[in-house]
A and B are shown apart, each in its own frame.
Chain A
Amino acid sequence: MLLFCAVQGTYSPRRTTLPEIDDSLLIRVGEDDRDAFEELYRKSGRAVYAFALSLLKNPDDTQDIVQETFLKIRGAAHLYRPMGKPMAWILTIARNLCNSRLRQSALSVEDCKMEDSLQFSYVTDPTDRLVLESALRILGEEERQILLLHCVAGMKHREIAQDLGMPLSTVLSRYNRSLKKLRNHLTAQGVLS
């Protein structure tokens, strides 16, 4: 608690990193191992959420997609072919579900106006909410993905590059660019000093 209070409102010296997931966890999930499933959800749930949120920009839809993603994993884990990149498979499932949802709702990312700010009423701190909303509004799709996967899910840039199939240099440059864009926007808004 003291550590939490000490860091509240200030820059966190240590970012939470994503725990490592290996193929054996998915194989055990395919064998209907509950402990394995809960471990999998604990290790990857936040990353799936951040990724889906970057695509849908809507917390409610994001929650549905996270649920569908892990139900899909339960139904197909026994068919999973170990390739050493289990997180990539999980994020691919999330992406395909998001795209399906977007097609159904006939809403493109650019068309999402985010007019209903009540969606983010879950976030109590207004500054934090403004930062999140700004990130989802002004950044491009890949910038959002990279920023949220790194900041929210705790994934390393190398892991993001591997799982999204991008070069590491692209991930790094887009991350920095997204931070700069967000900084400039927030400065203009008077949020940043």
Chain B
Amino acid sequence: MNKREIPAALRRAAEQLPMPHSQELWEMPVSKQTELDYITAQELPQVPTRRRAFLPALTCCIVLLFFGWFWQYRMVETTVFLDVNPSIQITANRRDRVLEVTGLNADGRSLIEGQVFSGLPLPTVLGQLADTLAQRNYLTPEKSTVLLTVQSRRQSHVQELESLLSSSIQSALEPRKIAPAIILQTYEEDASLQQAASQQQVSPGKMQYIRQILEEEDDYSLEELASMSLEDLRRLAQKEAGDDWEEDDDLEEEDREDWDSEDQEDDWHASQSEKDTDDGGQEDEDSDRSDDLEEEDDPDEEIPSGEDDGEEDEDPDDSEEGDDN
């Protein structure tokens, strides 16, 4: 026997071993199983190891890709509240592309109806909205206050965004000869603020502005301020910030200028008349004289000694010269 005969020898030997007959097997009583047991359990098909390792890795890659896409394109990175009288909320992704524009009150919803903003750059959308506001006379040369509230996950980006959006609004309104007064503020997310805003049907940005006014203003309630226009709110805010007092300061400055330019002569004359009636007015006279001396160009001119007004009247040129000086 050679080695090639081994398989045949095995087969011949096995064929001679006794086996049950099929008829006997068929005739034996058998109870039908109601479910597969541990003997008859079917094994699930085994996935080859390489494919088994590949599938989780592929799933992981898909999940990572999806998350990356979502983070870049679908996750809200920036929220902007635009308040004129309509209140509008604009959300944008990390690439400053608009995700959604929502009207927060009836005017806001009416303003954006029928318009599609999704996917557009944020500054473009702000410009479009500003133009629409002007079209519908929410913004006019007389009523030009815009409250722009910006919130972003990237704090470093907020300032740049505020500047960009302000420029966009100004550019959009320029053809209509509207110079908007843009109030910029950064929004700090606050649950109580959002709730209050929702109750008053204003944007959280406007509510934040109102709260700042309330900190200084006691004469108005929250509801009253919420019902005010943005123009009125801005005036109120400026008043509380002391702008009226600054205006008085301006007036004083203005008055000082006027005094310097026009009233000095009258004052001089007035002082001279006081000297006439007042014997003890030497000091004043001296001060006046010293002023005159300072201003005197011509040493030959007589220095008034405080006698008759007539002399002074007769020499109006002296004072004029002094005035000139």
Interface digits, B286-305 against A, CB 8 Å rule (1 contact, 0 not)?
00000000000000000000
Question: What is the total of A-B residue contacts with beta carbons within 8 Å?
Answer: 150
Contact assessment for A15 and B7 in the assembled complex, using a CB-CB cutoff below 8 Å = yes
A173 interface hit (Cβ, 8 Å): no
- The smallest C-beta distance from B182 to any residue of chain A, in angstroms, reads 71
- Asked if B42 contacts A83 (CB within 8 A), the reply is yes
Interface residue ranges of B31-79 to A (CB < 8 Å): 31-33, 35-43, 45-46
Is the CB–CB distance between A147 and B40 below 8 Å?
no
- A150 interface residue (CB < 8 Å to B): yes
Q: In this assembly, does B191 line the interface, its C-beta being within 8 Å of a C-beta of chain A?
A: no
Does A152 sit at the interface, judged by CB under 8 A?
Answer: yes
A–B Cβ pairs within 8 angstroms, 9 of them:
A38-B22, A62-B17, A63-B18, A79-B36, A120-B13, A132-B10, A179-B3, A179-B7, A182-B6
Name the B residues within 8 Å of A50 (CB-CB).
14
Interface SS majority for chain A: helix
Of residues 17 through 54 on chain A, the ones whose CB sits less than 8 Å from some CB of chain B are 34, 37-38, 41-42, 45-46, 49-50, 53
B25 touches A193 (CB 8 A): no
Residue pair B5, A124 in contact (C-beta under 8 Å): no
In the complex, per-residue mask of A126-162: 1 if CB is within 8 Å of any chain B CB, else 0? 0111011001000000000001101110000000000
Contact surface of A with B, Cβ cutoff 8 Å: 7, 9-12, 15-16, 34, 37-38, 41-42, 45-46, 49-50, 53, 59, 62-63, 66-67, 70-72, 74-76, 78-81, 83, 85, 88-89, 92-93, 96-97, 100, 120, 122-125, 127-129, 131-132, 135, 147-148, 150-152, 165, 179, 182-183, 186, 191-193
Chain A residue at minimal CB-CB distance from B34 = A79
Consensus secondary structure, chain B interface? loop
Report B-chain residues with C-beta under 8 Å of the C-beta of A45.
19-20, 22
Q: Which of B15, B19, B32, B45 contacts A83 (CB 8 A)?
A: B45
What are the residues of chain A within 8 A of B7 when measuring CB–CB? 12, 15, 150-151, 179
* C-alpha spacing A179/B15, complex, angstroms: 19
Chain A positions within 8 Å of B11 at CB level: 12, 15-16, 151-152
B46 contacts A165, C-beta separation under 8 Å? yes
Q: If A62-B17, A66-B19 touch, does A179 touch B6 (CB 8 Å cutoff)?
A: yes
Q: Chain A residues with Cβ under 8 A from B155's Cβ?
A: none
Answer yes or no: B12 CB below 8 A from chain A CBs: yes
A131 touches B19 (CB 8 A): no
Q: Residue among B15, B16, B33, B41 with the most chain A CB within 10 A?
A: B16
Smallest Cβ-Cβ distance to A180: which chain B residue = B3
The listed residue (A85, A127, A152) touching B14 by CB distance below 8 A is A152
List 12 additional contacts besides A41-B25, A78-B32, A89-B40; criterion CB under 8 Å: A11-B4, A37-B25, A59-B17, A70-B25, A76-B32, A81-B42, A83-B45, A96-B39, A120-B13, A131-B9, A148-B14, A152-B10
Bound complex: CA of A16 vs CA of B31, how far in Å?
A: 35
B30 at the interface (CB under 8 A from A): yes
Q: Does B1 contact A (CB under 8 A)?
A: yes
Q: A93 to chain B: which residues have CB within 8 Å?
A: 39-40
Say yes or no for B221: interface residue by CB 8 A criterion.
Answer: no
- Contact between A11 and B2, CB atoms less than 8 A apart: yes
B16 to A124, Cβ gap below 8 A? yes
A66 to B36, CA, bound (A): 19
Residue of B nearest to A59 (CB): B17
Question: Does the CB pair A100–B39 fall under 8 Å?
Answer: yes
- Asked if A11 and B5 make an inter-chain contact with CB atoms under 8 angstroms apart, the answer reads yes
Decide: B20 and A66 in contact? CB cutoff 8 A: yes
- Return the contact of A125 from the options B13, B42, B43 (Cβ within 8 A): B13
Rounded to whole angstroms, the CA-CA distance of A78 and B34 in the bound complex is 9
- Report the minimum CB–CB distance from A50 to chain B (whole Å): 6
Distance in angstroms from A47 CB to nearest chain B CB is: 11
The chain B residue sitting closest to A147, CB to CB, is B10
Cα-based distance from A37 to B23 in the complex (angstroms): 10
Question: In the complex, what distance in Å separates the CA atom of A132 from the CA atom of B5?
Answer: 12
CB nearest neighbor in B for A85: B45
